[in-house]
Structure 1
Amino acid sequence: MEDIKAYIESGILELYVLGDITHDEKLQVEAMAAKHPAIKSELDEIERSMEQYAEHNAVEPNEQLRGRILNSLLTNLGDDSTFNKAEDFRDNVATLPVAQPTNFYKYAFAACLALLIASGVALMNLYNKLQQSNTQLAVLQADKQHFANRVNFVENELGVLRDTTFRFLILKATPKAPAGASITIAWSKERHKVMVDMANVKMPVNDKEHQYQLWALVGGKPVDLGVFDANPDSTDMKEMKTIAAVKTDAFAVTLEPRGGSINPTMDQMMVLGKF
């Protein structure tokens, strides 16, 4: 059954109907059609399709052109003087060579099909290699960015460590925060700077509607030092707002609406620490 199907799909039946096959191939088709009803049925269907196509695309000649041709034939046939005797043309007849059947188009089509398939396979392989290259490039870029962030963090941290005016303080969890929550800050009262060590922020990740806000308690009054997000990928030292006070009682972090609040929400105080 597979051989018959492959024979039908080979295109030999269409070439038979068009007359574009050799004598031996013609005999083979006729023998296969006589032996296999499926091939005979397919051959009949191809012939019907060809006839329907010819009828559908037939072009009727112009009536005026038809009349002119018929009149010309009648005029020439009625005038014997326009024709020479048959023996006068006998020596002028040239024998044309018998056209040899050729399979050029069939083989050319097969070659084009093979080339198309090979090109498709090559393009697919090229596409897969390109996708792999893009993936590797994305990984390298991510590694490069991570390395750059790490270098930046180390440089900032070294700068803070070398600056003897900075003092480090760990703000520890209040009852509102999960156990183990903490934030490390560096404060230089001489430079009026406060830095948050983002790599050591051990706090729950805040949602899009909230941010953590750092406060300094100066003389019992809270001073806003800015907001930040608890991003687990952060590795830098984040510089907060400057603080002019020389003496600071404590530092605290509250969870506030995104952008921060004017006054701290006391029941959302997460960590607290003092020198």
Structure 2
Amino acid sequence: MENVQAYIESGILELYVLGDISPEERLQVEEMAANHSEVKAEIGEIELSMEAFAETHAVETSELVKTKILNSLLVNLGDDKTFTKPRKHNSEEVFEDEVDNVIALPARRSNFYKYAFAACLTLLLISVYGIVNLYSKLQESSTQLTAMQLDKQKIANQVNVMDDELDIYRDTSYKVLKLKGVAKSPQSAMTLAWSPVTKKVVLDMHSVKLPAHDKQHQYQLWALVGGKPVDMGVFDLNTDTASVKQMKSIAMADAFAVTLEPAGGSAGPTLDQMVVMGGTK
């Protein structure tokens, strides 16, 4: 019985009538009212007291006060306890007793929504920051992946080139020919490998020692067959950076020579621009 009286005096029943308690507390009050007639009777008395209080203090407020209340609700200022002192507004005077009789609205619920909105906004900003940060990291990872793929392709190309070089040494049908500089360019030299069986001709670009040339010219390889020159393709000291370069195929050749020609090559060799030459026997 003492516990019931202490519960009644705790003030929770007044909050229950005002509707200012949590759903869990509401269920607890209703359970207590169902089990204890004293609690139920106290709730009834509180309701009657509040109705009487509201009727006693009810006043017909002016339009100015009503407008102020509505504006206060719209801007979430439910925690205002009083309004401004009496003043005239549009030729209508607001009296002191009229303002004092306005019952302040509970601020707790309004404050709750303001804090909830602020919390939601904070979470939204944090989420946006997280998404932007994640997107940046994904972009960085994508760039790194692209770079790795390019490196992988470059390594694969280098491996293929090395395999081609090894094939030259493994295949006994290849002849390694050293072309030497002519009178015009005695310091020039280069090495090529030629297989009469597979008809392949491969230049060793690391061994090339030829005079530098401008962008308007390229070196052109020729095969001499029965005294006649046969075009074997062009190569460029500035852009051909691979260790080996495969040229056009040929089955028969008495010798090979290199001349400097206009970019793209010529139909016939410019003999006074010959830099190296070497026989096949």
Q: CA-atom RMSD, angstroms? A: 3.8
2:157 to 142, 149, 158: 149
CA distance in 2, matches of 1:227, 1:127: 48
Q: Which residue of 2 aligns with 1:197?
A: 204
CA distance in 1, matches of 2:183, 2:82: 96
Q: In structure 2, the residue corresponding to 1:139 is in which secondary structure?
A: helix
Question: Residues 161 and 193 from structure 1, CA distance in 2 versus in 1: closer, same or farther, beyond 3 angstroms?
Answer: same
1:120 to 124, 128, 137: 128
- Percent identical pairs in the alignment equals 45
Is the 8 Å Cα contact of residues 80 and 104 (structure 2) preserved in structure 1? no
Task: Confirm or deny that 1:262 pairs with 2:230.
Answer: no
Question: Residues 19 and 159 from structure 1, CA distance in 2 versus in 1: closer, same or farther, beyond 3 angstroms?
Answer: closer
For these two proteins, the number of residue pairs brought into alignment is 187
How big is each residue's C-alpha offset from its partner over 1:168-203, in whole Å with a ceiling of 9 and x where there is no partner?
2344567988x9765431122454331123455566
Q: What amino acid does structure 2 have at the position aligned with 1:194?
A: V
Q: In structure 1, the residue corresponding to 2:192 is in which secondary structure?
A: strand
Q: Offset at 1:151?
A: 1.6
How big is each residue's C-alpha offset from its partner over 1:38-80, in whole Å with a ceiling of 9 and x where there is no partner?
xxxxxxxxxxxxxxxxxxxxxxxxxxxxxxxxxxxxxxxxxxx
Question: Residues 127 and 221 from structure 1, CA distance in 2 versus in 1: closer, same or farther, beyond 3 angstroms?
Answer: same
Task: Confirm or deny that 1:227 pairs with 2:234.
Answer: yes
Q: Which residue of 1 aligns with 2:254?
A: 247
* Unaligned residue ranges in structure 1 (runs of 5+): 1-14, 31-96
Is the 8 Å Cα contact of residues 193 and 243 (structure 1) preserved in structure 2? yes
Q: In structure 1, the residue corresponding to 2:147 is in which secondary structure?
A: helix
Normalised TM-score (structure 2): 0.52
Alignment of 1:87-236 (within 5 A): 99-101=105-107, 102-171=110-179, 183-198=190-205, 200-201=207-208, 207=215, 211-230=218-237, 231=239, 233-235=241-243
Q: In structure 1, the residue corresponding to 2:122 is in which secondary structure?
A: helix
CA distance in 2, matches of 1:183, 1:25: 100
Normalised TM-score (structure 1): 0.53
Question: Residues 125 and 224 from structure 1, CA distance in 2 versus in 1: closer, same or farther, beyond 3 angstroms?
Answer: same
CA distance in 2, matches of 1:205, 1:130: 46
Q: Offset at 1:26?
A: 8.1
Q: Which residue of 2 aligns with 1:20?
A: 76
Q: Which residue of 2 aligns with 1:272?
A: 276
Q: In structure 1, the residue corresponding to 2:248 is in which secondary structure?
A: coil
Is the 8 Å Cα contact of residues 169 and 273 (structure 1) preserved in structure 2? no
CA distance in 2, matches of 1:210, 1:17: 85
* Unaligned residue ranges in structure 2 (runs of 5+): 1-70, 85-102
CA distance in 2, matches of 1:130, 1:173: 56
CA distance in 2, matches of 1:136, 1:174: 50
CA distance in 1, matches of 2:119, 2:73: 22
Q: In structure 1, the residue corresponding to 2:145 is in which secondary structure?
A: helix
Q: Offset at 1:239?
A: 2.9
Is the 8 Å Cα contact of residues 79 and 106 (structure 2) preserved in structure 1? no
Is the 8 Å Cα contact of residues 223 and 232 (structure 2) preserved in structure 1? yes
